[in-house]
Amino acid sequence: MRLAGAGTLFYKEVLRFWKVAFQTIAAPVLTAVMYLLIFGHVLEDRVQVFQGVGYTSFLIPGLVMMSVLQNAFANSSSSLIQSKITGNLVFLLVSPLSHWAWFAAYVGASVARGLVVGLGVFLVTVWFAPPAFAEPWWIIVFAALGAGMLGGLGLIAGLWAEKFDQMAAFQNFIIMPMTFLSGVFYSVKSLPPVWQTASHLNPFFYMIDGFRRGFFGHSDVSPWFSLAVVGTAFVVVSAVALRLLASGYKLRQ
């Protein structure tokens, strides 16, 4: 009974981003390809992170995971803030949906969008450097957990924000810096010690590092430690999001 109606709301949220797929799917794929063309062309012959792995091959998993995370966050956060501003959130508030159903639908749709965009980025960029799949189970685990965590974080941001400016600030000053400083374009081992320490405090680093482990069998830290960090972060974010939904935080004003 807690999840009654979740399937319908999930379907509505998937349709919401699918109907504007050129903006929500094609545009992020194009952005990732541009990153690959620029950074791959400039650094291919200058940087080698793992033995026998070219820089372009190293970069592709990072770009895929970055796209998954950013689009999972964007889906739930943009949906809630748009519903607040346009006033159609009232139609959900009068329905007998539990906070569990809200959470499952919004986060589920965010995971769906994140994985679709990530798959699109992979299919387009794989032609530049066909990857290996050394330990593919890590790819699935970290992609799903990372998308789920960012979907929950987007839910929190969407509940907190009251206008698009606040949402933009959350994304520009929190999500973007944490994503770009997570090792997408480099190995943290190449950083000075103080920045290595700072990177290890960033949960996004463990998502990227664990995800990349699935392709090359190499990582900066143990994938089991990364799994523990990401799993804990997912549980914490989910608990906060569920608590805010249960209390009706900024939903009924």
CB half-sphere exposure, 224, CA atoms < 13 A? 0
- CB-CB neighbours of 218 under 10 Å: 17
Q: What is the pLDDT of residues 99-155, one digit of tens each?
A: 999 999 999 999 999 999 999 999 998 888 877 788 999 999 999 999 999 999 999
Q: Check residue 126 and give its pLDDT.
A: 85
Q: Check residue 123 and give its pLDDT.
A: 93
Comparing 9-23, 38-52, 95-109, 158-172, the range with the smallest average pLDDT is: 38-52
Provide the pLDDT confidence category of residue 253 given band limits of 50, 70 and 90.
low
Please, what is the average pLDDT of the chain?
89
Q: What is the pLDDT of residues 160-201, one digit of tens each?
A: 998 888 988 888 899 888 888 888 888 787 778 888 888 889
Do 54 and 44 contact (CB within 8 A), yes or no? Answer: yes
| Domain chopping of the chain, boundaries | 6-247
Q: Check residue 50 and give its pLDDT.
A: 67
Indicate the pTM of the whole model.
Answer: 0.92
Nearest CA to 159 out of 66, 70, 237, 69 is that of 237
